[in-house]
Structures are given as C-alpha cells and as structure tokens.
Amino acid sequence: MRRESLTPNERVMRARMAAYMLHARYDPRETTKPARRAYFTRLAYLSARKRRGQRASLGRRATGY
C-alpha cells in the first residue's frame, strides 16, 4: 500500500496501531528512558542556571551594583 493512497484518517489509525503494538511488546519505561533522561538533565541544568542567576543578583543588590 502506497502512502499516497491513504486518507488522513487511515494514516492516523495506522500510527495508533503502531504505537499500541510498540507499547504492547516493550516496557514503556525502557522505550521512554532516553527522553526522560534528556528531560531531567535539561531540568537540572535550567534550575542550576536559575539558582546561579539568583545568587548573582543577590550579590549585586548587597553591594549596590
């Protein structure tokens, strides 16, 4: 079956079936592990960056600069 012959609804259904099959065959915790690792790494980076900015602004306010 060629892609051009599928309607938008048929493409949606095929994608859903593929997702259901993927999650039925493999543990979702394993298939999403790289995404969760990237998310938490970015979250830690952004929160550390925010803390550094807060410390710097506190220092500026304390010295009057």
pLDDT of residue 54: 67
| CA 60/CA 65 separation, integer angstroms | 5
Residue ranges, the chain, pLDDT below 70: 1-3, 53-65
pLDDT of residue 28: 87
What's the alpha-carbon Rg for the chain, to the nearest Å?
23
Q: Extract the tokens encoding 25.
A: 């065959």
Output the pTM of the full model. Answer: 0.50
| CA 17/CA 20 separation, integer angstroms | 5
